[in-house]
Amino acid sequence: MDNVFITQTSHFFPNEPVPNDEMEDYLGLINNHKSLSRPIVLRNNGIKTRYYALDKKGNMTHSSIQMAANAIRGLEEDGFKLADADVLAYGTATPEQFMPSPASMVHGELPESGNIEVVSFHGSCCTSVEALKYCCYALASGDAREAICAASERCSALMRNENFKAEGDVIALDKRPILAFEKDFLRWMLSDGAAALRLSNKKADDRLSLKVEWVELTSFANERETCMYLGAEKNPDGTLKGWNMFPQDEWLPKSIFSLKQDTRLLGDNIVKLGGVFLERIMKKHNLRSSGVDWFLPHMSSLFFKDQMKQNMDELGLVIDDEHWFYNLTRIGNVGSVSALAMIDELYHSGLLKKGEHILVAVPESARFTYGYIYLTVC
């Protein structure tokens, strides 16, 4: 099996960063009232700015597909052209149509590329990890020489005020911040953008490369009911009733197309199950604290950082704060893009040295899927 290397990275974030006090200028007010939960949620999630593919009138400035294409074009340099790629693997949580596939739509936005294999991953935050693993399989098997892994999200389309009913009660949020998640918390952390990785079976000649040592994924859907969902309503028994099971005139009154979270399940499971899988990986790959120079955690909110750190410490994977690298506070939670965006920023930061090791952790609350990526700087 051939080795696989990340040889270039790129990103695209639309427009200018949006500070906390301007968010509702873009997303709109619910029932013409400012959100009561916004200041509390923002205080706990630690996000200061994020990006929207919107103007202040709520008009779309970029589609998710256009953002993905812009990020992918950023990989072209040093003689590499998109036409040289053999595979395009793309992940998203916010596809803009049911058919054609999202990857086909991204490919269609890139007429300068050749006729290539395209594969789509639709789900939530781990779709970019799944796309990366597909690229690794294609390259390691010798089936491809160059591959592109990309992800994009246009979460702002889901966060506009017309998708929501009136806010509920937010009493006791100061004492129990997790309760804020039951209302409109996702409106105050989700962001738009795209990122892309170029992968090859050869290292770059003139710059650092990141060797992909392993990519691990697992799902706990066989043990846990759905936690985060879109286009559905949750039944009392924990099953989902999908959008096409409702008459059209109930879609808006029931907020079928707003993103929802079962906060009880989130708080009870998201960190704990990630630790269960991490313990398995540590044993499988003999992973120790000394083998992690940079830890890149995808966090929906800084609210979970201390819990993650405590969980890892208990497993014996002790990573000091100075070795944690994340950009949540500046770019927000960009779903499937977040993992790639962290890799991209660290890759271009000038901080990396040959021989260092990077561990990327991606928890996905939708039905509790987890992804871990381990890279070596070379």
Per-residue pLDDT tens digits for 148-170: 999 999 999 988 887 765 444 44
b/e per residue, 275-299, with b = 16+ CB within 10 A? Answer: bebbbebbeeeebebeebbbbbbbb
Among the listed residues 152, 142, 140, the one whose alpha carbon sits nearest the alpha carbon of residue 68: 152
Would you state the pLDDT for residue 225? 94
Eight-state DSSP code of residue 47: -
Cα–Cα distance measured from residue 149 to residue 210, given in angstroms and rounded to the nearest whole number: 14
CB atoms within 10 A of CB 268: 14
Maximum Cα–Cα distance across the chain:
59
Q: Which domains does the chain have, with CATH numbers?
A: 5-207 (3.40.47.10), 212-220+262-377 (3.40.47.10), 228-261 (no CATH)
Would you state the pLDDT for residue 183? 52
Would you state the pLDDT for residue 167? 44
For residue 227, what are the CA distances in angstroms to 148, 261, 321, 352, 360? 30, 6, 29, 36, 22
What are the mean pLDDT values of the chain's consecutive 10-residue runs (378 residues total)? 94 97 90 79 89 94 98 91 96 94 97 95 96 98 96 92 57 45 71 98 93 98 92 91 92 80 86 96 97 96 92 96 96 97 98 98 95 98
Among the listed residues 213, 208, 215, the one whose alpha carbon sits nearest the alpha carbon of residue 375: 213
Which helix (H) or strand (E) covers residue 91, if one does? strand 87-92
Sequence-separated (6 or more) residues with CB below 8 Å from residue 78: 8, 204, 206
For residue 198, what are the CA distances in angstroms to 5, 75, 136, 162, 171? 8, 7, 11, 38, 48
267-150-217-140 Cα dihedral, nearest 10 degrees: -170
Cα–Cα distance measured from residue 100 to residue 201, given in angstroms and rounded to the nearest whole number: 30
Report the Cα 64 to chain-centroid distance in Å.
Answer: 14
DSSP-derived 3-state class of residue 353: coil
Would you state the pLDDT for residue 219? 97
Report the Cα 258 to chain-centroid distance in Å.
Answer: 18
What letter represents residue 90's amino acid? Answer: Y
Cα–Cα distance measured from residue 229 to residue 233, given in angstroms and rounded to the nearest whole number: 8
CB atoms within 10 A of CB 227: 23
What letter represents residue 156's amino acid? Answer: S
Structure tokens at 305: 């950082």
Cα–Cα distance measured from residue 63 to residue 53, given in angstroms and rounded to the nearest whole number: 7
Would you state the pLDDT for residue 26? 94
Q: Tokens 């939670």 appear where?
A: 333
Would you state the pLDDT for residue 165? 58
Structure tokens at 299: 């966090």
Would you state the pLDDT for residue 177? 47
151 and 194 in contact (C-beta within 8 Å)?
yes
Would you state the pLDDT for residue 159? 86
What letter represents residue 293's amino acid? Answer: D
Cα–Cα distance measured from residue 295 to residue 357, given in angstroms and rounded to the nearest whole number: 9
Question: Going by DSSP bridges, is the β-strand pair 228-229/260-261 parallel, antiparallel, or unpaired?
Answer: antiparallel
Q: In the Cβ-directed half-sphere of 370, how many Cα atoms lie within 13 Å? A: 19
